[in-house]
């Protein structure tokens, strides 16, 4: 009822440890960008890596080396996407979202809020999180490509170069 045999438990233990070590190894080899704040591709790769690891550990029909090869393929694709994104602005525009301005000079950008499915309450929470009490004190709130909010108070206003790529 709780397990079929000791051999199955031993397999899960050994393959689980080896699969985990292999995944951590390849993530370390691929660099910090593989685990940076998520965009859609990072999310897909992370979920897929977890699924592969679970399949290798639980399913007797998925050999360890096939799972490791799947890790390498996914991490390699992630590496290639980030490599091309850094070197080609056209490719980067194709695969990555642009940040979106949600609040400007204390005024909500209602069309942007609707299109990004963000509520005014979420904006207020981000503003509070930045230690600001009055919305009017905010120069801009930007929804970043990883889903986080950047809050810029008026006292930091100058040339606004940080907003140059914001839609």
Whether residue 79 contacts residue 31, with contact meaning beta carbons closer than 8 Å, is answered with: yes
Residue where one domain finishes, among candidates 74, 95, 116? 95
CA–CA separation, 16 and 34 (whole Å) = 22
What tens digit of pLDDT does each residue of 53-62 get?
A: 999 998 989 8
Q: In Å, how far are 23, 63, 72 from 18, measured between CA atoms?
A: 9, 11, 15
Q: Do residue 86 and residue 21 come from a single domain?
A: yes
Please, what is the average pLDDT of the chain? Answer: 85
User: What's the structural domain count of the chain?
Assistant: 2
Q: What CATH number is given to the structural domain containing 124?
A: 3.30.240.20
Q: Do residue 123 and residue 67 come from a single domain?
A: no
- Domain membership of residue 122 as a residue range: 100-163
- Specify the 3-state DSSP secondary structure of 108: strand
Q: In Å, how far are 56, 108, 125 from 17, measured between CA atoms?
A: 11, 50, 41
- Specify the 3-state DSSP secondary structure of 148: coil
Q: Do residue 136 and residue 105 come from a single domain?
A: yes
Whether residue 26 is contained in a domain is answered as: yes
Q: Do residue 105 and residue 62 come from a single domain?
A: no
CA–CA separation, 29 and 124 (whole Å) = 40
Q: Do residue 86 and residue 137 come from a single domain?
A: no
Q: Do residue 81 and residue 141 come from a single domain?
A: no
Burial of residue 48, with CB atoms counted within 10 A of its CB: 0-12 exposed, 13-18 middle, 19 or more buried: middle
Write down the pLDDT at residue 107. 93
CA–CA separation, 114 and 102 (whole Å) = 10
Q: Nearest CA to 55 among 42, 72, 68?
A: 68
Whether residue 1 is contained in a domain is answered as: no
What tens digit of pLDDT does each residue of 118-129 get?
A: 999 999 999 999
Whether residue 108 is contained in a domain is answered as: yes
Contacts of 38 (CB under 8 A, 6+ apart): 46, 146, 147
Judged against a pLDDT cut of 80, whether residue 7 lies above it is answered with: yes
What tens digit of pLDDT does each residue of 37-58 get?
A: 666 777 788 889 899 999 999 8
């Amino acid at each position: 009822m709780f397990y079929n045999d000791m051999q199955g438990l031993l397999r899960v233990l050994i393959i689980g440890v080896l699969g985990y070590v292999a995944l951590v190894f390849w993530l370390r080899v691929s660099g910090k960008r593989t685990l940076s704040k998520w965009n859609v591709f990072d999310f897909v790769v992370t979920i897929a890596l977890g699924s592969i690891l679970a399949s290798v550990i639980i399913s007797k029909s998925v050999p360890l080396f096939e799972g490791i090869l799947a890790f390498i393929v996914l991490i390699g694709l992630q590496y290639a996407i980030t490599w091309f994104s850094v070197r080609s602005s056209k490719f980067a525009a194709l695969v990555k979202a642009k940040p979106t301005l949600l609040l400007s000079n204390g005024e909500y950008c209602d069309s942007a809020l609707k299109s990004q499915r963000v509520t005014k309450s979420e904006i207020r929470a981000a503003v509070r999180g930045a230690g600001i009490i009055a919305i009017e004190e905010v120069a801009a709130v930007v929804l970043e490509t990883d889903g986080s909010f950047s809050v810029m108070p008026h006292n930091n206003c100058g040339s606004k170069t940080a907003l140059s790529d914001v839609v």
